[in-house]
Amino acid sequence: MKDLIFLSPNRILLVLGCLFANLMLFGQLSVSGGFMVINTGSNVVSTGLHVQNTGSATITNQGTLSTTTNITNASGATLNGNGLWQLGGNWVNAGTFTAGTSTVLFNGSGASTVEAGGAAFYKLHLNKTNNNLTLASAVTANDTIRFLADNNKIICAGFDFTAGSVATVVGADADNYFVTNGAGFLKRQALGSVAFAFPVGADTSTYNLLIIGENGTADDIGVRCMAQPLANGSTGSPITTDAVNTAWEITENVAGGSNLSVTAYWPLTDELSGFTRTDCGIARFIAGTDWDLPPSNMGGALGGDPYNRVRNNLTPGILAVMDDAFMNRVKLALRIMLQGPYNTTTMKMNDNLRTLAAFPLTAPTTYGAGKFVHTGWQPAGGYNINASVLTVTGDDAIVDWVFLWLKSPSNPATNLQSRVALLQKDGDVVDLDGVSPVLFPSDAGDYIVAAGHRNHLSVRSPNGPGIALNEATVTNYDFTTSMAQAFGTNPMKQVQTTPTPIFALWGGNTSVNNTVRATGPATINDYTAILSTLTFPTNIIPTVYSNSDVNMDGTVRATGPATINDYSKLLSILGTPTTIITEQQ
């Protein structure tokens, strides 16, 4: 048989058990204006040429209709039924298709396209031999989207593929997924708190699964995998370092109301140069600004090739996985003075320590324990400087390491983030390059700012709404200009009266606690701490970097002239041997 053509008003009924219950056609099956009914259990197979439904014809399929090539439903024609539509070629619908509970199965070794004509599928299955299905229109499937063989992909190109509100995707993996290589998205209708896996990739060789749960208002959520992260989210130069070489665009149907939990996956081969897998997070691009990557979202990747990271409380936008090079950092230009090395003649601090061989190129161990315990994100390799930073002279010469905090304005006892920085001779607190304002790992917002030193009492800004910090501009705050710049009662020492009043952190805290004192138990007595360092009161320890070096000249001693005697300096700070100065925090 070459072609089987039904013309109106012919009606063909294939009923299980009758003569034509199973019909094999080696040619084209064309229904033009008639009716064709394939009952349950019946099979019609067209081999070699396609199935064509035209005119006002109706094919009702309750059994199986198969072709090795195309199924075409022309304008005015109707396809319906709950059976199996099986084809090796293209699905073209320009008429009416009522899916019922039917399955449309694409098989064979050739590539296929699907033009849905606005009609939704119920079940859509793919069982091709190393080939793909490409969308020629928007497609919706309301029940099961199933990959039945390896190396099968659904290529969205410029069209959206929508999974219905109860639809599932079965069999997706690194060989079988949706390729969002154009403007098309994989969408899920009415996504709620039950997470949905979006098996997507930007091309046919890289799979980047994204799992999303909607903890806000249920909505239609779309995902498009992009080939690479771009500097400006959807535009700009490709990012080439410190990130995973892919990005995801997430959309919502109704703006607002989304609160997404996202898990992003990537293979090892996607990691760009310099990317730190042990310290990374999911970043979201904020239009008009930059990539938003909160320190609180940083951490090591989970899993193992593919790896993954999780982020909650997200809104739709463009996402990428990045390391701390893209982490949120606010800019702070802080200024403090230390009483210990302060020089009333120069109105600056002495910088003797930086020339010592013992000056640490890594933050002192004092910073990280006790009252200097770290809070928030910290660099995996610690805080380190290049030796060249210590060769700078003049006002920008480095005096020592200092410790900084950002605190909650509503509860200043709560430390939100800490870090270590450097202090210049003129009082500027700078980053580890020795010159730049401090980049503080934190989101933009209002904070209480605090500063401390290993043998001085710490200070913080006063109670109130806090100091506004952001990533774009540098915020200045100067503790040295007034006692009122710091919280508490006499929180600092006025070290200069004329020509300009200057206030400094109280020195002499050799026991590294919250008081300066020369009496009381050994554990809290700063004079005892000096003696403990010396072993004998008459000893002198030169060229040393020590918390007992009250005047910070590089020598610890409790004898000799007051200008070089650390015990004398401690008594000078106290005023009387029995005075106790308490840190104001």
DSSP letters of 142-203?
SSEEEE-SSS-EEE-TTS-EEE-TT-EEES-BTTBEEE--SS--EEEEEE-SS-EEE-EESS
Residues 268-288: tens digit of each pLDDT:
999 999 999 999 999 999 987
Number of domains, the chain: 3
Establish if 36 belongs to a structural domain: no
Sequence-ordered strand ranges (E) for 497-538? 502-505, 515-516
| Residues 199 and 306 occupy one common structural domain | yes
| Residues 372 and 414 occupy one common structural domain | yes
State the DSSP H helix or E strand holding residue 343, giving kind and residue range, or none if neither: strand 342-343
Pairing status of strand 177-179 against strand 153-155: parallel
Establish if 26 belongs to a structural domain: no
pLDDT at 4: 46
Nearest by Cα to 187 from 212, 208, 204: 212
pTM: 0.89
State the DSSP H helix or E strand holding residue 567, giving kind and residue range, or none if neither: helix 566-574
| Residues 487 and 361 occupy one common structural domain | yes
Residues 6+ apart with CB under 8 A from 412: 448, 460, 463, 487, 585
Residues 351-408: tens digit of each pLDDT:
999 999 999 999 999 999 999 999 999 998 899 999 999 999 999 999 999 999 999 9
| Residues 310 and 431 occupy one common structural domain | no
Using alpha carbons only, what angle is made at residue 575 by residues 574 and 577, rounded to the nearest 5 degrees?
70
Last residue of a domain, one of 327, 357, 389: 327
How many Å separate Cα 492 from the centre of its chain? Answer: 40
Residues 232-254: tens digit of each pLDDT:
999 999 999 999 999 999 999 99
Establish if 59 belongs to a structural domain: no
| Residues 336 and 457 occupy one common structural domain | yes
pLDDT at 45: 85
In this structure, what are the phi and psi dihedrals at residue 472, rounded to the nearest 5 degrees?
A: -85, -40
Distance between CA atoms of 140 and 128, rounded to whole angstroms?
20
| Residues 252 and 363 occupy one common structural domain | no
Sequence-ordered strand ranges (E) for 409-525? 415-424, 428-430, 438-441, 445-453, 456-460, 467-469, 474-478, 492-496, 502-505, 515-516
Pairing status of strand 84-87 against strand 161-163: unpaired
Pairing status of strand 318-323 against strand 247-252: antiparallel
Establish if 131 belongs to a structural domain: no
Question: Could you list the residue range(s) of the whole structural domain that residue 520 is in?
Answer: 515-582
Ramachandran category for residue 574: left, alpha or beta (phi over 0 → left; psi -120 to 50 → alpha): alpha
| Residues 493 and 367 occupy one common structural domain | yes
Establish if 25 belongs to a structural domain: no
438: tokens are 């401090």
State the DSSP H helix or E strand holding residue 530, giving kind and residue range, or none if neither: helix 526-534
State the DSSP H helix or E strand holding residue 534, giving kind and residue range, or none if neither: helix 526-534
Distance between CA atoms of 122 and 100, rounded to whole angstroms?
7
224: tokens are 């498009």
Establish if 32 belongs to a structural domain: no
Last residue of a domain, one of 486, 505, 524: 505
Nearest by Cα to 59 from 35, 90, 89: 35
Which residues sit opposite 342 in a β-bridge? 349
Task: Tell me if 320 sits within 8 A of 240, measured CB to CB.
Answer: no
Which residue carries 């990280």 as its tokens? Answer: 368
Using alpha carbons only, what angle is made at residue 492 by residues 491 and 497, rounded to the nearest 5 degrees?
140
pLDDT at 27: 57
pLDDT at 13: 40
> What are all long-range contacts of 107-115, with beta carbons under 8 Å and residues at least 24 apart?
108/68, 112/87, 112/88, 114/90, 114/139, 115/90, 115/91
| Residues 309 and 368 occupy one common structural domain | no
pLDDT at 14: 39
State the DSSP H helix or E strand holding residue 405, giving kind and residue range, or none if neither: strand 398-407
| Residues 402 and 440 occupy one common structural domain | yes
Task: Tell me if 311 sits within 8 A of 294, measured CB to CB.
Answer: no
| Residues 240 and 254 occupy one common structural domain | yes
Distance between CA atoms of 79 and 91, rounded to whole angstroms?
12
Pairing status of strand 112-115 against strand 91-93: parallel
| Residues 491 and 519 occupy one common structural domain | no
Establish if 455 belongs to a structural domain: yes
| Residues 315 and 463 occupy one common structural domain | no
Establish if 397 belongs to a structural domain: yes
Cα–Cα distances (Å) from 440 to 220, 416, 419, 445, 472, in that order, read: 38, 11, 7, 12, 12
The mean of the pLDDT values for the chain is 94
Last residue of a domain, one of 327, 357, 384: 327
DSSP code of residue 437: P
Task: Tell me if 288 sits within 8 A of 471, measured CB to CB.
Answer: no
Task: Tell me if 187 sits within 8 A of 163, measured CB to CB.
Answer: yes
Rg of the chain taking only CA atoms, in angstroms: 36
Question: What are the average pLDDT values for consecutive 10-residue runs of the chain, which has 585 residues?
Answer: 41 37 60 85 84 93 95 96 97 98 97 98 97 98 97 97 98 98 97 97 97 97 97 95 98 96 98 97 92 96 97 97 97 98 97 98 96 95 96 98 98 97 98 98 97 98 97 97 98 96 98 97 96 96 98 97 96 96 96
